[in-house]
Amino acid sequence: MAEFDTIRAGARGADAAQIDEGLRAHMNKVYATMSVGLLVTAGAAWAIGTSPALMQIFRNPETLQPNILGWIAMFAPLIMVFAFGAMINKLSYAGAQLFFYAFSAVMGISISWIFAVFTGISIVQTFLITSISFAGLSLYGYTTKKNLSGLGTFLMMGLIGIIVAMIVNIFLASAALHFVISVLGVLIFAGLTAYDTQSIKNEYIEHASHMDEEWLGKSAIMGALRLYLDFINLFMFLLQFLGSRE
């Protein structure tokens, strides 16, 4: 917020209004891209998760344990995130957008198992609760004058910790560790939602004077990816508490 206040303090009249209008348009593009990505994910997850024939391609139909393709689908989104970050500068805006939607579809495949484990009603209810929580947290990140950059460093360290713990628990299958990971996951991604929203806003303000349309377009997609990941992870961790099993 300090960057935003500094730039707006130096801007007058039409310039300040242009910055505000551009920021609103940029954030609208971020949220719109993210929303389409969530729809793609939901569609892919539902299509596979409600079809026993498609589900057995990735998991054992009785135990729901992943097979080789299931493990590939599980880790593919993580690999694609790193690849996207490395390739973003080489991709066109259209290419980056296509990559994001392809990633969203793969994410849908990786979480499709939830439709075989949890009731449809509890999934919808958790999605609505996640949406309301996400909206409030993102609004806080957008409007607060508090600098959240320090919180971001702490949250990223926590994120690395739970990723390691989740990988370890694949082999341990500890219910207690699973519960701790779920609690920490909700807290970490709630904080990251506010932090990422503020970061996306500040990044736009820092580059507002350049008006590089190519950069702004790809920046909106990267911002959408960050918030998309916050939403999906918040939803998945909340589902562990709120979901009713079949």
- Beta bridge partners of residue 66, listed in sequence order: 59
Which residues of 50-142 form beta strands (DSSP E)?
A: none
At residue 63 the predicted structure's pLDDT band, cuts being 50, 70 and 90, is confident
Quote the pLDDT of residue 52: 93
At residue 43 the predicted structure's pLDDT band, cuts being 50, 70 and 90, is very high
Quote the pLDDT of residue 17: 63
List the end-to-end C-alpha distance of the chain, in Å, as a whole number.
Answer: 46
Count other C-beta atoms under 10 Å from residue 133's C-beta: 18
In terms of Cα–Cα distance, which of 182, 47, 185, 170 is closest to 116?
Answer: 47
User: Measured between alpha carbons, how far is residue 171 from residues 59, 90, 132, 167, 241 in Å?
Assistant: 17, 38, 34, 7, 22
Phi and psi at residue 67, in whole multiples of 5°? -90, -165
- pLDDT, tens digit, 9 for 90 and up, residues 86-131: 888 888 889 999 999 999 999 999 999 999 999 999 999 999 999 9
Contact 83, 91 (CB under 8 A): no
Phi and psi at residue 92, in whole multiples of 5°? -75, 170
* Average pLDDT, integer, range 36-59: 96
Percent of the chain clearing pLDDT 70 (strictly above): 89
| Inter-helix orientation angle 93-110/14-49, to 10° | 40
Q: What's the sign of the alpha-carbon dihedral 214, 8, 4, 231?
A: negative
- pLDDT, tens digit, 9 for 90 and up, residues 191-240: 999 999 999 999 888 876 666 677 788 899 999 999 999 999 999 999 99
What distance in Å separates the CA atoms of residue 127 and residue 204, rounded to the nearest whole number? 29
CB contact burial 211-242 (16+ within 10 A = b; e otherwise): eeeeebbbbbbbbbbbbbbbbbbbbbbbbbeb
What distance in Å separates the CA atoms of residue 68 and residue 74, rounded to the nearest whole number? 10
Q: Measured in whole angstroms, how far is the alpha carbon of residue 131 from the centre of its chain?
A: 12
Return the higher-pLDDT residue of 6 and 142: 142
